[in-house]
Structure 1
């Protein structure tokens, strides 16, 4: 699973007229124009990249890293602006995506981690990824570096809470909505983004309205690990999936994205439900087999009652499929309430 890993503002060409700030999320729209090689005018807009104001020109050869990035673009109907995607092997097959036809229309650029050489060779004019989940100081591909190469970049708001120099904090689902609105502004389809966000909010509201009453169910998310457990803190989508469905993330007090905890902490949390994140070479079934045979967890209620819920990888990382994961998990919790045995 890819994890979150400073940047200085690189001056961009300025235009004769200043644009008024419209909102924190989208600061200005169509503030000027640049001329493309074919003689057409390219729209520009200023949008926050994490907490930094950045001027964007409408991309025509976007490159997306991982399913969450590509899904956001495809959900906005932007396949014609996407050159290709990079998909590490831990991701489920793109053929299983609701946007499988869009994936088939664009180029598969590789199954390795995001790197500078790949996006340069692809002649990308925008790279969409997360901070330290795609962009990385260690691998030499950061927004600042790409700025210097004349390649635009966009970072998932969910990954911005500890971005050096320009941090920005949103709850995970609000980060998803913010990303869709910002991408809509960058690509010149703000109305499309507004409608999409409204539909997602309505779906979430319906789930919240139907959540089980009473004390929230305690939930532990198991990503992987044997010596320690790799789990979800407060800064990733499972936090909101759990809470909106009527549960409580037992490690939701950790101000982290994906993090490691000791098994003693898991036992002390006494979770009633375990979410298993399904990805990579180890199947969800194998992970459940490990958990049920691990002596330290023998008395944990979720293990005793075999209350396991499998969450798809792309439902757990920032992307439109978060809403699908929420709805499925909410159905699961309601079924438990109706038939606790």
Structure 2
């Protein structure tokens, strides 16, 4: 089960209503920078930056990948562990150079986190800021001069369901402003927008492929309903979610629902470890799903794609994954 989303769903938003976060510097080196100060709204809070962050801490890996995509690896002073799936091309070397401050995908506990002295904390879930889990809260990090930016608008369990692909493009532009690299960010966002438009053009007019997106389970089954990031990717790639009528993003459905869904294709979440635990392999989850949906076209044709779970969270990778899914669903649309 994708525990990160399950944990997010169980938490109450801690960011709303907090004192606006600000990064300030004083002294002879505090001369104004061109284009600064920059003010960004995130999770209902106002973040003001007098200069580009130079000591960033990142949480779950898609946040780090996004900074890599913007060429900002040299600004990252600490990161969490990532061992769930393959790295994007060229990123493993950059990852290895950055100090690891947590052996899990979560940010470190409160004392360790506050000791980092970060001038920006970038993550894509509120789970790592829950006081009940021993983590520094958004308010505590604000007070310490370490403002928090949450990717994808995943500011509360309800808001994860409202995610659209445009939210990731907005994050890229916001980060471009925060780091003083707006031109670079705008070019990247435009390139990704062009790739999404190309996918949509290629699959337009083709019959949508019925897709089941699952994280395995013999009963109940962990699957993705008709709201949230995975559903958005399926639609953009020319598919239709067979569980579109199920409320929620990451949720549990019955064996009977999966059996009756009759998907033409199946997406299976891929990851190896989470918080130190060995997780079911893609092969095992695929076998379970094919057994449950044994009478479906997808099972008969064994039409299954492993989808890295990191692509199912806000960040640069989720936009790249749309093309991968589209090629899987509509290979004939990519012959030219």
User: What is the aligned partner in structure 1 of residue 151 from structure 2?
Assistant: 156
User: What is the aligned partner in structure 1 of residue 26 from structure 2?
Assistant: 35
What TM-score do you get using the length of structure 1 for normalisation?
Answer: 0.81
Is the Cα–Cα contact under 8 Å of residues 212 and 334 in structure 1 kept in the other structure?
A: no
Change in 2 beyond 3 A, CA 1:143/1:229: same
Is the Cα–Cα contact under 8 Å of residues 176 and 318 in structure 1 kept in the other structure?
A: yes
Are residues 1:331 and 2:327 paired? yes
* Correspondence 1:1-341 to 2 at 5 A: 1=2, 2-3=4-5, 4=8, 5=11, 6-7=14-15, 8-11=17-20, 34-35=25-26, 38-41=29-32, 43-57=36-50, 58-89=52-83, 91-92=84-85, 94=87, 97-112=89-104, 113-114=106-107, 115-139=109-133, 140-160=135-155, 162=157, 171-211=163-203, 213-280=205-272, 281-292=279-290, 294=291, 296-335=292-331
**More off after superposition, 3-12 vs 202-211:** 3-12
Is the Cα–Cα contact under 8 Å of residues 151 and 315 in structure 2 kept in the other structure?
A: no
Q: Which runs of 5+ in 1 are unaligned?
A: 14-31
Alignment partners' CA distance in 2, 1:258 and 1:66: 17
Alignment partners' CA distance in 2, 1:190 and 1:169: 28
- Structure showing greater relative contact order (alpha-carbon pairs closer than 8 Å, 6 or more residues apart): 2
Deviation string for 1:137-182 (max 9, x for gaps)?
532433223223332110012413646xxx6985431111111111
Deviation string for 1:3-31 (max 9, x for gaps)?
23433231567xxxxxxxxxxxxxxxxxx
TM-aligned CA deviation for residue 299 of structure 1: 1.7
Alignment partners' CA distance in 2, 1:155 and 1:121: 20
Deviation string for 1:261-314 (max 9, x for gaps)?
22222223222111011102322122212223x3x4222332122111111222
Deviation string for 1:172-215 (max 9, x for gaps)?
31111111111111111112111110000000111111116343
CA-based RMSD of the aligned residues comes to 2.8
Task: Kindly indicate which of the two structures has a greater share of residues assigned to helix.
Answer: 2
User: What is the aligned partner in structure 2 of residue 27 from structure 1?
Assistant: none
Count of aligned positions: 313
TM-aligned CA deviation for residue 335 of structure 1: 2.9
